[in-house]
Chain A
Amino acid sequence: MRFDLRLIASWIRPGSKVLDLGCGEGDLLTYLQEKRSVSATGIEKDESKVAHCIERGLSVLQGDINAEIQDYPDQSFDYVILSRTLQQVYAPDDLIRSLLRVGTKGIVSFPNFSYWRVRLQLLSSGYAPVTEQLPYEWYDTPNIRVITLRDFMKFSRDMGFQILKMVAINSDFNNKVGKVVKFLPNLRAAYGIFLIGKEQ
């Protein structure tokens, strides 16, 4: 289980209702089901991944997260998770709004574009950065949004939602180990994970 996913799992109250947007093969949901006895739902666009999830006993829908999230009644879930996907979303503001409509809390994680390795690459080579976290060329990347940890905090103020918790981490893409970055996170962390809620 990936380090960032373990961290996300540790934030989730046992027995709660969880929706994972872009749940992939359902590793996080399975973990949450087993360790936290949550009631787990996932949305995933890839047929074979969806099938894999259902075969392993998850409740998963095939579809586009931006459209599928619309159908849920208000406050259907305790947590809605958007893990490493925000940078691929065309209308992040709409999605975050929907996320906080159907869920009491949201958990959002994304690669930090102001990570020092990204900055250094751009500065030294002059090419668009290609890193472990963002491993694509500019012309074939699904990552259409460039976000830094600081951007997301500004985004929360602009949009009017609350950041309840934030952790910045370093870990390799599928690395089981990682560590929390406390000092200068916007520069030193590869990923950010945010627990968000509606403004009180």
Chain B
Amino acid sequence: MEDSSLLNKLNRVTAPLDFESKVMAQLAARRKALPQMRRALRFRYSLAGAAAFLLICFVVVNMFVLQKGPFSEFAGRDTQGTLNPKEFVPITEAVKYSPEIRQASYEPKTAYILEQVSDASNVLIRY
């Protein structure tokens, strides 16, 4: 290619006269700073390690040491016979169905089936 040979015509530069001395001076300075840099790096790594260790400890303690017993649910408590029916005050709530009934003109006919969803004995639930 014609232009690639032209690239050879571009000015070539050389290093400044004090280049080597500057490099050697920087080398000495960096060598001197190297132990300090390594110490700082080690400190940073140990800090990160300590943080990671604390996090792992926190997770382990939460998972195994502070583990709580099995939760007994309301329905379960009933089956275990721990419930005292006297603790509950029966409430009879009047249910108003009129706002629930929507216009049949724009909605398909819907059958609402009301069923008991709680496993608790129906003795405790009063409609």
Interaction A to B: no
